Amino acid sequence: MQNLKNYHTFGIDAQAKNIIALHSLNTLLEELPKTEKPFLCLGQGSNVLFCKDFLGTVFVNQIKGISIVEETQDTVWVKAQSGEIWHDFVMHCVEKGWAGMENLALIPGTVGAAPVQNIGAYGVELKDSLAQVEAINLDTLQIELFDNSLCAFAYRDSFFKQNSGKYFIVSVTFTLQKTQKAQHYYYRALQSYLHEQNIINPSIQEVANAVIAIRQSKLPDPKKIGNAGSFFKNPIVSKMHYKQLQKTYPNMPCFEVEQAEYIKVPAAFLIETLGYKGKTIDGRYGVHAQQALVLVNYKNATGAEIYALSQEIIQAVKKAFQIDLEREINVL
């Protein structure tokens, strides 16, 4: 058995039967036919909670490479291999003057994990710039190509999440704009920060810098405190339900969604309202003091303990608000 503690950002002391680092696609194709199930593919392990040992093989994706597939005067199609660190790839694009990724700076994880969750932040989602996903069907070991529509993207959801364990994402191609001028900076927190810095028409570098500063002020560094970022999804409720809740909680914020009859409510507001923000248990784990969405492992917590805390929060939110809170991370 091998320790998984250094292979996921929660830093839980869990074991795996075997751990194999993937530096090339060939390694995966060579190892898979002789690997017994269960097996698991990890990037940075930034969206997983191990509640028990994994009695199988864990493949750690370290396949790197960034290349231009095609470009015109205004547009560039950029392919990134799935083991690239997401933030490094975003900053590479920003430095090259390729717009579209800057709002997604400092999100932990790898490029390959990004489409699974349809990661998003500050008014932008991955689906907004994704052109194609190249993936291996783990049953047939054949390469399959998925355009944006085939990925079936939804809020923190995708075809790959719905078919977890069936595909290994090899690379992702993005459509980006060759401009230094930012297009997406109207998200409330982002615009407020830029206003405070007296930045009126921000460049993509300035937006990336702002996103990094905001995230660092609110979110714990997983290298220092074990966590997996946002533990819960922001729930989407009917506008009728929201109006009922407003009678008791008049300051409850909300965000518009594509479906006109629904509204998105910040999970952090619900959790903080119930007094969980900053709560710690035995000084070992709890809810982060700066961001109620983030559950943290301060010292030697087990996955089962953190899961139990998340379950307590889900039940409390259901009782108080009649809202079903969903976990964003994968529980194993």
Q: What gap in Å lies between CA 56 and CA 35, rounded to an integer?
A: 9
Mean pLDDT of 289-311: 95
- How many independent structural domains does the chain possess? 3
- Clarify whether residues 206 and 111 are in a common domain: yes
Domain at 273, CATH number: 3.90.78.10
Exposure b/e, 190-225, CB count within 10 A at least 16 = b: bbebbeeeebeebbbebbbbbbbebbeeebbebeeb
**DSSP-assigned letter for residue 103:** G
Among 325, 330, 237, 316, residue whose Cα is nearest residue 42: 330
Domain at 6, CATH number: 3.30.43.10
Residue 35: band (very low, low, confident or very high) from pLDDT cuts 50, 70, 90: confident
- Clarify whether residues 214 and 91 are in a common domain: yes
Catalytic annotation on 46? no
Residue 219: band (very low, low, confident or very high) from pLDDT cuts 50, 70, 90: confident
Domain range for 180:
66-218
Mean pLDDT of 284-297: 95
- Clarify whether residues 32 and 90 are in a common domain: no
Mean pLDDT of 312-329: 95
Which of 187, 218, 249 terminates a domain? The answer is: 218
Residue 145: band (very low, low, confident or very high) from pLDDT cuts 50, 70, 90: very high
Average pLDDT, rounded, for the chain: 92
Which of 218, 238, 272 terminates a domain? The answer is: 218
Catalytic annotation on 156? yes
- Which is the catalytic residue, given 82, 102, 129, 156? 156
- Clarify whether residues 147 and 266 are in a common domain: no
Mean pLDDT of 9-23: 92
pLDDT at 228: 92
Q: What share of the chain is helix, strand, coil (3-state, %, to 5)?
A: 30, 30, 40
Which of 200, 218, 236 terminates a domain? The answer is: 218
pLDDT at 302: 95
Catalytic annotation on 188? no
- Clarify whether residues 296 and 309 are in a common domain: yes
- Which is the catalytic residue, given 171, 230, 305, 310? 230
pLDDT at 309: 97
Domain at 193, CATH number: 3.30.465.10
- Clarify whether residues 112 and 186 are in a common domain: yes
- Clarify whether residues 196 and 151 are in a common domain: yes
Taking only the tens place, the pLDDT of each residue in 163-194 is 988 999 999 999 999 988 877 777 778 888 88
- Clarify whether residues 98 and 203 are in a common domain: yes
The model carries a pTM of: 0.85
Residue 293: band (very low, low, confident or very high) from pLDDT cuts 50, 70, 90: very high
Taking only the tens place, the pLDDT of each residue in 102-139 is 999 999 899 999 999 999 988 899 999 999 999 999 98
Taking only the tens place, the pLDDT of each residue in 60-84 is 999 999 999 999 999 999 999 999 9
Handedness of CA 196, 287, 331, 108 (dihedral sign): positive
- Clarify whether residues 96 and 188 are in a common domain: yes
Residue 241: band (very low, low, confident or very high) from pLDDT cuts 50, 70, 90: very high
- Clarify whether residues 164 and 232 are in a common domain: no
pLDDT at 196: 87
- Clarify whether residues 210 and 266 are in a common domain: no
* 3-state secondary structure at position 216: helix
- Clarify whether residues 51 and 138 are in a common domain: no
